Amino acid sequence: MTDETLRATYRILDASTNRALEGLRTMEEWARFAIDDPAMSSELKSIRHLVAGAIGRLPRTSLLLARDTPGDVGTQISLPTEMSRASVASVVAAAAARTAQSLRVIEEYGKTIDTELAAQIEQARYRTYTVASRLELTLPGDDRRRRLQDASLYVLVDAGRDDASFGDAARSLYQNGVDVLQLRDHDADDRTLLERARLGSVIAGQCGGLFIVNDRADLAFAAGADGVHVGQEELPVADARRILGPTKLIGLSTHSIEQARDAVAAGADYIGCGPVFAGHTKSFDHYVGPALLEQVSAEIALPAFAIGGIDLTNVDQVTSAGIHRAAVTGAVRDAPDPAEAAAELKRRLAK
């Protein structure tokens, strides 16, 4: 490589590094200050340090000597869209695209000087793809995620006797404060589940609520539901996302702070935390109690719904632990007046 070519290569690497670090910082500020997400903020900071460390393998003097901002013809070329942004979403999206493109440039030109540098930048590029896609899903304009952020009461329901009774119950619950309904019925056949899921999704749209299908991403997709909820042993979040696409919600059951952290990394939209107390729907060998809720409240930015045996006798323990969202079954289903029970739970969660 001639001296002139080497200098040009260093100039490209210097400019692309600056663009990449600026883009990463722009995304990091949104994660840190707008959505208060420590996991995504930490990941973006880690990628920044990885990029800086990789470039640090090169002589800094060579990079600085190659820098020639006054002589950069690109500074005189601009498009109208560069001087304005339609929304915060477009700011973050532009930063993500700029970062990915710059990292690819560094990787390709870096191969001519230092293959280890190129390998580290490749790793940073793939990590950027992952975190940027998760970050863009948090941006304003995503109505499902906005409603999820506002949600506090989540009720699990079975398929009921028929469409009419299921529809009446769903409508009543939404009208009395339930934000999210999840269809969970392991005894119903697929066609029945699909019929109820389609009906529930329509009613949710009419009432401004969310409708989730338990376990079955395929049925959630076919029914046009708002998303799917999976357990630790069911379909992984990434595969559910491939089925449902980027705009639908994916919830994940978690039973420890480690699983909650993993849910964030996997790209879940919300988590269920429990089982908190003993209930009548399922029996478990171990109950996490309010201790897990305190850990999640202190560390996890995703919407977190306490689940397991929660009712009017213990919901105050949930809110005292810092969690103001709950998923219930029997507390509403078995109440003399399910609608009134739902309304009272909603009031208590708001305290």
38-47, 61-70, 79-88: which range is least confident on average? 79-88
For residue 70, say if its preceding peptide bond is cis, omega within 30 degrees of 0: no
Structure-model confidence comparison of residues 118 and 73, the more confident one: 118
Q: How does pLDDT run across 293-306, given as a tens digit for each residue?
A: 999 999 999 999 99
Q: What was the pLDDT predicted at 148?
A: 95
User: What confidence tier does 311 reach under pLDDT thresholds 50, 70, 90?
Assistant: very high
AA identity, residue 158? D
Backbone angles phi, psi at 341, to 5 degrees: -60, -40
The reported pLDDT for the residue numbered 79 is 47
* pLDDT tens per residue, range 333-350: 999 999 999 999 999 999
**What's the rounded Cα separation, in Å, for the pair 109 and 112?**
6
pLDDT of residue 82: 52
pLDDT digits (tens, 9 = 90+) for 184-226: 999 999 999 999 999 999 999 999 999 999 999 999 999 999 9
User: pLDDT tier at 75 (50, 70, 90 boundaries)?
Assistant: low
Q: What pLDDT is stored for residue 81 in this prediction?
A: 47
Q: Check pLDDT > 60 for residue 60.
A: yes
CA distance 308 to 191: 28
Tell me which of 141 and 17 has the higher pLDDT: 17
Is 2 strand, coil or helix? coil
> Which residues, at least 6 apart from 202, have a Cβ–Cβ distance to it below 8 Å?
none
Total number of residues shown for the chain: 351
pLDDT in tens, 17-41: 999 999 999 999 999 998 888 889 9
Instruction: Tell me which DSSP letter residue 31 carries.
Output: I
pLDDT at residue number 142: 67
The neighbour count for residue 208, using CB atoms within 10 Å, is 11
Predicted confidence (pLDDT) per residue in 79-103, tens digit: 444 555 667 778 888 899 999 999 9
Q: Per-residue pLDDT tens for 122-136?
A: 999 999 998 998 888
CATH of domain 143-349: 3.20.20.70
Q: Give the 3-state secondary structure of 212-253.
A: EEECCHHHHHHHCCCEEEECCCCCCHHHHHHHHCCCCEEEEE
Is the pLDDT confidence value at 164 over 60? Answer: yes
Question: How many CB atoms are closer than 10 A to CB 314?
Answer: 15
Across 130-144, 178-192, 268-282, least confident range: 130-144
- The C-alpha atoms of residue 221 and residue 240 are separated, in whole angstroms, by 10
Q: Please report how the helices 257-266 and 237-244 are oriented relative to each other, as an axis angle in degrees rounded to 10.
A: 30
Q: What is the pLDDT of residue 215?
A: 97
DSSP string, 243-288: HH-TTSEEEEEESSHHHHHHHHHHT-SEEEE---S--SS---S---
Residues making up the annotated binding site are: 214-215, 234, 253, 282, 309
Q: Which of 44, 143, 49 is nearest to 89 (CA)?
A: 143
Annotated binding site for Mg(2+): 215, 234
Q: What is the pTM of this model?
A: 0.71
Q: Which residue has the higher pLDDT, 76 or 108?
A: 108
* E strand or H helix at 322: none
